[in-house]
């Protein structure tokens, strides 16, 4: 018969207490997720049911919002490629959002890195940046169409202009949140600029960067649809504008639903990458 030392007995007791605790915690998390999922499902079904009842009982609602069956039918037909524009319109919109979004995010990061550390430069440019950011973005769309024509170039530059300041303010806030004591300690240990960037600034601003990136994703897709709606010959915005011209309400609502669904999916991808980045930072 083997006997346990007091230390081994304490470890065994701790493990036996921890396992049920973890199991209970995981069970609580799972139940909470089920409750959230059930609540979201009920809200979705409630909105869908209310929409169906309103469109069936009120002709004005049906004329303005169509009905769930017609919208669902258009989405299925569009996914199958039966509609004139086809699913290629989504590819055009996403490509413009990707290129313009990356350009705007890169420009915002560069501006923040160059301007924020220098107090005098930041004081000089901050009012200008604030004024430019306050300009209504939708009012700029016709100007970009006039300057660059009906095509991908106008969409890319317009999207970049729409998201650049979002990322700038996020990264700038992250840089300014760095504790000066950390930078002093790194310098005392002989660290240079690259060491400061790698060990202090990058881990600090990564959460700010991804917070701005989530907004940039939404703004990039929205801006792509807006400029395609106002002046383009392809893309989901063009699909919505064409449907509006012939009073095809189901296509208009269906196009908006597709845009929203795609934005939600991409946002969740960014959230997943953000979690991985935060785990890397904490490690």
Q: How confident is the model over 102-139, as pLDDT tens digits?
A: 999 999 988 888 888 777 777 788 888 888 888 888 88
Most confident range, picked from 157-161, 177-181, 199-203, 269-273? 157-161
The structure's pTM equals 0.76
Q: Where are the domains of the chain?
A: 6-64, 67-282
**In the structure, what pLDDT confidence band is assigned to residue 250 with cuts at 50, 70 and 90?**
confident
Residue 2 CA, chain-centre distance (Å), reads 59
Higher pLDDT, 253 or 209: 253
Concatenating the DSSP letter of every residue in 230-252 gives HS-SSSHHHHHHHHHHTT-HHHH
pLDDT of res. 269? 87
Is the per-residue pLDDT at 99 higher than 90? yes
Q: How confident is the model over 7-55, as pLDDT tens digits?
A: 444 445 544 454 454 555 556 667 788 888 888 888 888 888 888 888 8
What's the mean pLDDT when you consider all of the chain? 80
Q: What is the CATH number of domain 67-282?
A: 1.10.3720.10
Q: How far apart are CA 227 and CA 149, in angstroms?
A: 11
Higher pLDDT, 100 or 278: 100
Q: How confident is the model over 172-212, as pLDDT tens digits?
A: 888 887 777 777 776 777 766 776 766 677 777 777 888 88
Six-digit token string for 154: 């106008």
pLDDT of res. 103? 94
DSSP 177: T
Is the per-residue pLDDT at 88 higher than 70? yes
The rounded percent of the chain whose pLDDT value lies above 70 is 83
Cβ pair 100, 283 in contact under 8 A: no
Q: Which long-range contacts (CB under 8 A, 24 or more apart) does 273-277 make?
A: 273/210, 274/207, 274/210, 274/213, 274/214, 277/206, 277/210
Concatenating the DSSP letter of every residue in 135-176 gives S-HHHHHHHHHHHH-SSHHHHHHHHHHHHHHHHHHHHHHHHH
The answer for residues whose C-beta is within 8 angstroms of residue 249's C-beta and 6 or more apart is 63, 64, 65, 66, 70, 243
Is the per-residue pLDDT at 159 higher than 80? yes
pLDDT of res. 98? 93
What are the respective helix, strand and coil percentages of the chain, to the nearest 5?
A: 85, 0, 15
Q: How far apart are CA 138 and CA 8, in angstroms?
A: 69
Is the per-residue pLDDT at 146 higher than 80? yes
């Amino acid at each position: 018969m083997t006997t346990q030392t007091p230390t081994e007995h304490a470890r065994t007791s701790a493990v036996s207490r921890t396992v049920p605790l973890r199991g209970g915690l995981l069970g609580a998390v799972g139940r909470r997720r089920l409750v959230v999922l059930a609540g979201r499902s009920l809200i979705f079904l409630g909105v869908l049911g209310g929409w169906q009842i309103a469109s069936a009982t009120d002709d004005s609602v049906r004329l303005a919002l169509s009905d769930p069956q017609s919208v669902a039918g258009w989405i299925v037909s569009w996914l199958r490629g039966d509609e004139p524009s086809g699913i290629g319109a989504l590819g055009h919109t996403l490509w413009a959002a990707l290129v313009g979004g990356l350009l705007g995010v890169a420009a915002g990061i560069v501006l923040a890195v160059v301007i924020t550390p220098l107090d005098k430069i930041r004081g000089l440019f901050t009012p200008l940046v604030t004024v430019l950011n306050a300009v209504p973005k939708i009012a700029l769309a016709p100007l970009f169409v006039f300057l660059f024509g009906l095509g991908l170039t106008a969409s890319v530059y317009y999207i970049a202009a729409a998201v650049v300041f979002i990322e700038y303010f996020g990264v700038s806030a992250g840089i300014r949140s760095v504790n000066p004591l950390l930078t002093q300690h790194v310098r005392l240990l002989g660290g240079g600029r690259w060491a400061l960037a790698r060990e202090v600034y990058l881990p600090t601003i990564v959460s700010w960067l991804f917070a701005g990136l989530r907004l940039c994703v939404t703004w990039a897709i929205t801006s792509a649809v807006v400029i395609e709606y106002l002046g383009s010959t392809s893309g989901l915005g063009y699909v919505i504008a064409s449907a509006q011209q012939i009073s095809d309400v189901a296509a208009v609502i269906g196009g908006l639903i597709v845009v929203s669904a795609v934005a939600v999916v991409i946002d969740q991808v960014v959230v997943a990458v953000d979690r991985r980045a935060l785990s890397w930072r904490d490690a």
